[in-house]
Amino acid sequence: MEKLAGYVEHIIYRNAENGYTVLNLVSGEEEITCVGIFSAVAEGENIEASGEYTEHPTYGRQFKVESFEDIVDKVLLITLFNQVGQVNPFFN
């Protein structure tokens, strides 16, 4: 399984009933069409997606997402974890 990280530039299609989504993910210099079930995702979010590249007969190369996570949440948790135990000048 491959991993991609980037930001959601544009949501092309979203089925509100089942969460099936087609979106453009910008990863580095590349814009990648991703397809799959996204419980909640919005344009401008940074995500890390796991899945496989496929070739759609009409739409071409796509990244079929099996799972994803919001990178901002991961960065926030790491930042908070790293601050635990540090001296805070406001409480001294």
Q: Which CATH class is domain 2-86?
A: mainly beta
In the chain the first and final C-alpha atoms are separated, in Å, by 48
- Please calculate the CA angle 69-78-6 and round it to the nearest 5 degrees: 35
The answer to whether the CB of 55 falls within 8 A of the CB of 63 is no
Q: The whole model's pTM is what?
A: 0.76
Range 68-81 burial, b when 16+ CB lie within 10 A, else e: beeeeeeeeeeeee
**pLDDT attached to residue 73:** 59
pLDDT tens, position by position, 5-28:
999 999 999 999 999 999 999 998
Report residues of the chain scoring pLDDT below 70. Answer: 72-92
For the chain, domain boundaries: 2-86
